[in-house]
Amino acid sequence: MIELSGISKTYRVARRPAGMGNALKSLFSREYTLIPALTDVSFTIRDREMVGYIGPNGAGKSTTIKIMCGVLTPDSGTCVINGRVPYRERIAHVRDIGVVFGQRSQLWWDVPVADSFELIRDIYKVKEDRYRKNVNDLTELLDLGDILQTPVRNLSLGQRMRCEIVASLLHDPKVLFLDEPTIGLDAVSKIAVRKFIRRLNVERGTTILLTTHDMQDIEALTQRVLLIGKGKVLVDGTLAGLKKHIASRKTMTIEYRGPLPTPIEGMMPLQSDDGRLVLSFDPSEIPVSEAITYFAQNTDLLDVSVSDVTTEEMAAKLYKEYNL
């Protein structure tokens, strides 16, 4: 169980004025700039839940994760994870958590991946049989067999990211923090990583907090989403609920032969290319079945599709709604 209550954190950064004289002066009397990163952040994540933590750049996501890992101490509020306060009981706490920062590596650059895994085993004092089983299971699941003897610096980003995830799981953590785990990956690697994260949550019951700017990750993996902006939690809800809140309208794309079809009154054309028309409409005014029947009867219809607002559009509208 993860419980954050009233967490606030402000960074204090020393101001460095330009010029030699000013630099000397600042050695004796320092001036500081205060950067509020989190204000009164509260949420609870139950065991085995997988939650998306989203928000624009600088919203406070990484700061929250650093507090939950025990790297940072908040100025006020409480954070309790599996009954422990991370920044007070760091050593015991890190045995229960795994962390992947997509932009940073926990693997040693010049040595083969397998050697990095051994070092991590030593650090966490993972028992030999448990370690062997984990390496075997995880390397098979993530298809890493061939690359274990390759130095990390020679791996592609997708290969490295899969190794990073395995490295974070060798000690069987109950909770996993993933900070942009699919950043920079190609479509195939993204799908492989997402599939693995889902299995981890379902089969091992790992509690997962996923931070990402990739709304496809959120769509594929999480039911519940926490939206953070300017250091505050603004929304805590289901992905479906958020989409409903943001857009009750639907988008219809029709492909046709012949002249441009006339939409039903109340439909708004969004885009019209050669033989393709995209319309937006409110299904409470025009039922979807009626819209499809109308075009089927009045147009030489080749194809039709109706979709909800995409997760990308939802995030953009949410950020706009909250002035982020």
Give the footprint of ligand ATP on this chain (CB under 6 A).
Answer: 11, 13, 35, 37, 55, 57-63
Please report how close the Cβ of residue 148 comes to ligand ATP at its closest, in angstroms: 30
Nearer to ligand ATP, 8 or 150 (CB): 8
Nearer to ligand ATP, 71 or 304 (CB): 71
Please report how close the Cβ of residue 13 comes to ligand ATP at its closest, in angstroms: 5
Please report how close the Cβ of residue 147 comes to ligand ATP at its closest, in angstroms: 28
Please report how close the Cβ of residue 89 comes to ligand ATP at its closest, in angstroms: 23
- Look-up: residue for tokens 């907090």? 209
Nearer to ligand ATP, 35 or 123 (CB): 35
Report the alpha-carbon distance of residue 180 to residue 218 in Å, rounded.
11
Please report how close the Cβ of residue 178 comes to ligand ATP at its closest, in angstroms: 13
Element (H, E) at 257: strand 250-257
Those residues with Cβ within 8 angstroms of residue 270's Cβ, 6 or more apart along the chain or in another chain: 251, 278, 279, 280
Please report how close the Cβ of residue 189 comes to ligand ATP at its closest, in angstroms: 21
Q: Record the tokens describing residue 231, joined without a space.
A: 């250091």
Please report how close the Cβ of residue 71 comes to ligand ATP at its closest, in angstroms: 10
DSSP character for 304?
E
Nearer to ligand ATP, 231 or 263 (CB): 231
- Taking Cα atoms as reference points, which of 291, 306, 324 lies closest to residue 247? 306
Nearer to ligand ATP, 57 or 323 (CB): 57
Q: Record the tokens describing residue 175, joined without a space.
A: 């909770």
Supply φ then ψ for residue 82, to 5 degrees: 50, 40
Nearer to ligand ATP, 221 or 267 (CB): 221
Nearer to ligand ATP, 12 or 276 (CB): 12
9-17, long-range: CB within 8 Å, 24+ apart, which pairs? 9/36, 9/37, 9/38, 9/60, 9/63, 9/67, 9/72, 9/74, 9/75, 10/34, 10/35, 10/36, 10/37, 10/75, 11/35, 11/37
